[in-house]
Amino acid sequence: METRPRELVASRRQVDASLAGWTGFGAIVVMVLASTHIGNVPQNGGGRWWFTLPTLGGVFASPVLWVLFYAALATMVGAWWQLGRLGKQGMLSQRQVVTILAAWCVPLLLGPPMFSGDMYSYAAQGTLAHEGLNPYQLGPIALAPGPLLSSVAPVWLYTPAPYGPLFLFVAKEVMVVFGGSVVGSVMVMRLTEMLGVVLLVRFLPRLAVHMGADPVRALWIGVLSPVPLFSLISSGHNDTLMVGFLVAGVALAMEDRPLAGVALCAVAMTIKLPAVAGVGFIGMMWSYRFERIAERAKVMAKSAAVTLIVAAAATWLAGLGWGWLNPSTLSTPTALTLAAAPVAAVGLTVANLLQVLGAGVATSVVVGTAQVVGAATAVGLSVAMLLRAKGRCMPPALAVSFLAVVLLGPVLWPWYLTWGLVLLAATRAQDLPALALMAVVAALIVLPDGSSIGVGPAYVPVAVLSLAVAVWAVRSGRWRSLLPELIS
């Protein structure tokens, strides 16, 4: 009896997806093994994770490990790209994507943090709260010397926590139970944050369906791509929880449950404050359903009341006061100016050109001016997007607002880009190659140990590339195809 064509297609789909999935899994295992030497391992008396790749008499020396790591990363990206091709051809199911994601998560959750060491700062802030100190007033330096304090990046030793009370409550509870082990506390905290990934798997496809987009490709870009995979899962950033609750809130709002959406975005806000934008955009979309000003005001009042109730409950639960809304605390993430950030790169390039021309203008003045212009532009774009937050325009408008704030800000980290990237993955912009390219290239901004590539003269190519992309986007009008909902 001959095999029917449909069965042949299904069999081929299963084989191709399995091959790509196993290839990516093997590549990630190699990356994790190499990262036990070149990743962000804790400084617990020798800088060791709970397992370590044997050096085999120097065969796996540092240069070899770096080559091995990036060769494996390229292989993983190739496997991910192949899965995207299968998805575009209708040969990949949501179940297969989720299964592959679960498999790829296993080594990432067992291995040391890659591309960032912020997990140690989270653990330090949780320990401060556990010891009765206020992380909104003190930096990790207030802790007694030991492995945990030694593992925190020097730049964050004296800075207070810029995170919401709900996240610090979670961090404190983890440290109460697992605080005796740096490795154990980091692994458990990262596992706790996987709730955000579960929320993305649950709600991202629902949002995509409502937006007329492919739920499979939404998961492929929004969860399985290098940036969310490494920044949200391996690095364990609390953006995982923030983005998970944010996407869930936006999805519910688009399903005609705006009050529930506001509540979930308010929860996301108590993890990281930028999620408050979700409250504003959902409230604006909700208010546009009414013509009378009184009715719109009532909607805004309801949104504000729910947000305040959630914020007050989280603040009471954490018992740390309202220091998380202190302007000086909120400015902590911008304490650094990185050359990888487009605005900073352009400012540094212009400053050096002026010095070559003998203008004698201080670099700090030029960079500061560029940052002010960037911030003003981001605010203007965000306001414009807020006014466009009607119906199906709301999710892409919110995504653009997030990306504007990140790309025009003083600091650019890959995990910041997930705020807008994940939302755009659930819109018709998911088919644009530029979005998939961003999901790959952004992951390369940092090295395996968490340090930025934006050092030395790196600002010059970043500035040239940023200006070229900006000019191309404006002149070609490709932004229209990137965000079709905003002009439909």
Mean pLDDT of 206-225: 95
What confidence score (pLDDT) does residue 47 get? 67
Range 344-363 average pLDDT? 82
What is the rounded end-to-end Cα distance, in angstroms, of the chain? 51
Same domain, 423 and 358: yes
Average pLDDT, the chain: 88
* Contacts for 195-198: CB closer than 8 Å, 24+ residues apart: 195/241, 195/244, 196/232, 196/239, 196/240, 196/241, 196/242, 196/243, 196/244, 196/245, 197/101, 197/105, 197/223, 197/232, 197/233, 197/240, 197/244, 198/244
Q: When comparing pLDDT for 90 and 298, which is higher?
A: 298
Q: Is residue 76 part of a domain?
A: yes
What percentage of residues in the chain have a pLDDT greater than 70? 89
Residue 271 lies in a domain: no
- Are 147 and 41 members of one domain? no
* Confidence (pLDDT) at 53: 82
Name 275's Cβ contacts closer than 8 Å, sequence gap at least 6: 242, 245, 246, 265, 268, 269
**63 shares its domain with 123:** no
Residues 394 and 354 grouped into a single domain = yes
pLDDT value at position 247?
98
- Tens-place pLDDT, residues 273-290: 999 999 999 999 999 988
Q: Is 486 helix (H, G, I), strand (E, B) or coil?
A: helix
Lowest mean pLDDT among 9-13, 44-48, 136-140: 9-13
Look-up of token digits 């955000």? 196
The strand pairing partners of 452, in sequence order, are 446
pLDDT at position 263 is 97
34, part of any domain: yes
Using the 3D structure, point to which of 93, 126, 141 is the last residue of a domain: 93
As a whole number of angstroms, the distance between CA 462 and CA 341 comes to: 8
CB atoms within 10 A of CB 147: 15
Q: How far is CA 198 from CA 19, 87, 128, 242, 390, in A?
A: 24, 21, 29, 12, 28
The DSSP call for residue 292 is S
Write the pLDDT tens digit of every residue in 180-191.
Answer: 889 999 999 999
Q: Taking residues 299-304, report their average pLDDT.
A: 94
**Spatial separation of the C-alpha atoms in residues 275 and 166, rounded to whole Å:** 13
Last residue of a domain, one of 77, 93, 109: 93
pLDDT in tens, 74-98: 999 999 999 999 998 888 999 999 9
Q: How far apart are CA 372 and CA 409, in angstroms?
A: 9
**What confidence tier does 434 reach under pLDDT thresholds 50, 70, 90?**
confident
Q: Which residues pair with 446 in a beta bridge?
A: 452
Q: Which of 191, 207, 239 is the last residue of a domain?
A: 191
Do 58 and 142 share a structural domain?
no
Domain assignment present for residue 174? The answer is yes
User: Which sign does the torsion angle of CA 135, 141, 145, 148 carry?
Assistant: positive
Look at residue 411 in the predicted model and tell me its pLDDT.
Answer: 83
Residue 71 vs residue 473, higher pLDDT: 71
Domain identity same for 353 and 437: yes
Please give the pLDDT value at position 481: 58
Rounded-to-integer distance, Cα 272 and Cα 413, Å? 15
Confidence of residue 123 (pLDDT cuts 50, 70, 90): very high
| Inside any domain, residue 420 | yes
- Of residues 35, 28, 69, 27, the one with CA closest to residue 52: 35
Q: Which own/partner pairs from 61-65 qualify as long-range (CB within 8 Å, at least 24 positions apart)?
A: 62/37, 62/38, 65/34, 65/37, 65/38
Same domain for 150 and 36: no
Element (H, E) at 211: none
- pLDDT value at residue 379: 93
Domain range enclosing 441: 337-486
- The total domain count for the chain is 3
Whether residues 81 and 129 fall in one domain: no
Rg (the chain; Cα; Å): 23
Per residue in 27-83, pLDDT (tens digit) is 999 999 999 988 898 886 656 888 888 876 555 668 889 999 999 999 999 999 999
Can you give the pLDDT at residue 1?
Answer: 43
Between 174-178, 387-391, 394-398, the lowest mean confidence (pLDDT) is in 387-391
135 or 15, greater pLDDT: 135
| 396 plus 481 within the same structural domain | yes
Span of 70-79, 216-225, 341-350, 368-377 with lowest mean pLDDT: 341-350
The pLDDT, as a whole number, for residue 31 is 96
Let me know: does 277 contact 419? Beta carbons within 8 Å: no
